[in-house]
Amino acid sequence: MKQLSGKGVSDGVAVGPLYFYRRGNGEIERREVADTAAENARFETARQTAIEQLGALYEKALAEVGEESAMLFEAHQMMLEDLDYVESIQGMIEGGLNAEAAVSDTAAMFADMFAAMDDAYIQARAADVRDISTRVIGILSGAVAGGVDSDVPVILAADDLAPSETVQLDKSKILGFVTRGGSGNSHTAILARTMGIPAICGVGNVLTENYEGQLAMIDGQTGEVVFDADEPTRERLLKKQAKERALKDMLEKLRGQPNVTLDGRNVMVYCNIGNPGDLDAVLQNGGGGIGLFRSEFLYLQGSDYLTEDEQFEAYKTVAERMGGKRVIIRTLDIGADKQADYFNLAHEENPAMGLRAIRICLTRPEVFRTQLRALYRASAYGKIAIMFPMITSVWEVQEIKRICSNIRSELANEGVPMADYVELGIMIETPAAVMMSDQLAKEVDFFSVGTNDLTQYTLAVDRQGQNLDKFFDAHHLAVLRMIKMAADNAHAAGIWIGICGELGADAELTETFLSMGIDELSVSPSAVLPLRNTIRSIDTSTCSDRLLRDL
Ligand code: PEP
Ligand code: MG
């Protein structure tokens, strides 16, 4: 038996073969080939595989985000059939160049040609031709689209996974995650919890590729990773897995029950999602609404800016499927660890404090406008609320409200249907927002506390930092006092306040939050029923004074 250990960041026991994430290294191999017919056949096979992959992506997008977004994949399929493109590659191969280099050179030639055109539509095709070519080169060089090429579900191992890589994984293939690095507060860990998949990070370099293919047992609560388990260990972990399943079955009985405390207080229990594909889990677990739709994950899934229509389809799908329940969509919170190449964000020494989130939206008005137009258009199809991240100042909110009001007027003039009223809220995730919360509360309809960033900025601890977990103490009195201050100021101004950071699901603090008067808790879908169970066991009339004494 071989035992490794890391930090458990998403609960649950998983058993399955270990599989290392396949990532292309970005370098294009360039060599001379003698057998050009064989090389052309190799290119043709890769081209056909790419066309098939795009067909599957089309179906997936059609089901999750609607036809307009899905059409992009259809257009990419057509580009791979384009005779000029295909013949250029074949010609280079016949001249003795290997297929990877021929595809890469043709892509560069076509992209430059498109980019030089006057027509903005054709210019935008440069990104498409690069995208399809990257796919074909990836297939030729053995890198795997989506990182996993396995017929059976696996425990996925990696150095670390970027949020953009995690969102593109085929969830049906993943039993668990184990990474050498990473932190429990990173977006990858958050995504694992949203998917309800056991995960362990920080195992270190002892997690070598020699374990590839070996049967692993992992415990996402304790951080254990076991290979070739001896009988007692195997039995212990399987027993724990069975117990988890029994607990899940027990919690099923709470489906459809209210989130009400023993003293009769109703609490809104909402869900955090990253894309419309997470809605099945929300509906299955009885989420009362969406408390945080991290819209940036839609941007991380693609290779170019999303159009207004693509976003509209995604937001409309979520609003409709939630059937009139509140859906809080957070505007683009890109930057720091959430990077999309096409944003071309400059390298920053301190990206968590840099040009991110609302700062990008206020400096790139076109990006913001496109998203807000899509959101207001989608508001006609359900109960959409809009939330803004990383707020520090009252002027930011006033400027945002001015932009929103202009967009509403613009859409009204175009005769576009919209909801009569769309709630606007802000994330309380910087100490400045807490300290200004009395004034900010007068500007908006609700607050939602982002405890992940609030902890990072209050304690001056990088949430991504690998060896900092000991210092990233979200239970720190400083953080709890901040939340209490924001709650008091929200209620004094007559608005409601929720928590959408990871602390919202922390059962050790539920009593404290309810004692503060927190109105809503937004958690990953799999945490809804456990949280409901906790809420139903609390009597705030007897615990409040004791819990609030130090705050
Ligand atoms: C937070 O900071 O707590 C939050 C909910 O937002 P994110 O984790 O996406 O930064
Ligand atoms: Mg945040």
Does 385 score more than 90 pLDDT? yes
Does 120 score more than 80 pLDDT? no
- Give residue-wise pLDDT tens across range 163-200: 777 877 888 889 999 999 888 877 778 888 888 899 99
pLDDT at 24: 65
- Minimum-distance ligand to the CA of 190? 1
187 is an active site residue: yes
- Minimum-distance ligand to the CA of 186? 1
Note the pTM of the prediction, 2 decimals.
Answer: 0.78
Q: Name the closest-CA residue to atom 8, ligand 1.
A: 452
- For residue 335 and ligand 1, the question of a CB distance below 6 A is answered with no
- Minimum-distance ligand to the CA of 450? 1
- For residue 313 and ligand 1, the question of a CB distance below 6 A is answered with no
CA of 546 relative to ligand 2 center, distance in Å: 30
Query: Where in 30-93 does DSSP place strands (E)?
Result: none
491 is an active site residue: no
Q: How far apart are CA 424 and CA 447, in angstroms?
A: 9
- Give residue-wise pLDDT tens across range 421-451: 999 999 999 999 999 999 999 999 999 999 9
CA of 334 relative to ligand 1 center, distance in Å: 11
Delimit the domains of the chain by residue range. Answer: 2-22+147-250, 36-141, 257-548
Query: Into which CATH architecture does domain 36-141 fall?
Result: Orthogonal Bundle (1.10)
- For residue 501 and ligand 1, the question of a CB distance below 6 A is answered with yes
Q: How far apart are CA 438 and CA 537, in angstroms?
A: 32
Report the CATH number of the 2-22+147-250 domain: 3.50.30.10
- For residue 333 and ligand 1, the question of a CB distance below 6 A is answered with yes
- Give residue-wise pLDDT tens across range 524-548: 999 999 999 999 999 998 887 788 8
State mean pLDDT over 134-157.
82
State mean pLDDT over 316-322.
97
Does 144 score more than 70 pLDDT? no
- For residue 499 and ligand 1, the question of a CB distance below 6 A is answered with no
- Give residue-wise pLDDT tens across range 285-302: 999 999 999 999 999 887
CA of 451 relative to ligand 1 center, distance in Å: 7
Does 65 score more than 70 pLDDT? no
Q: Which residues contact 302 (CB under 8 A, 6 or more apart)?
A: 72, 340
Mean pLDDT of the chain: 92
Q: Name the closest-CA residue to atom 10, ligand 1.
A: 453
Give residue 328's Cα distance to chain centre: 15
Beta strands 520-523 and 383-388 are unpaired
pLDDT at 439: 98
- For residue 39 and ligand 1, the question of a CB distance below 6 A is answered with no
pLDDT-based confidence at residue 455 (cuts at 50, 70, 90): very high
Report the CATH number of the 257-548 domain: 3.20.20.60
Burial letters 25-46, b for 16+ CB under 10 A, else e:
eeebeeeebeebeebbebbeeb
Please, are residues 187 and 174 in contact by the beta-carbon 8 Å criterion?
no
**Range in 46-60, 235-249, 520-534 with the lowest mean pLDDT:** 46-60
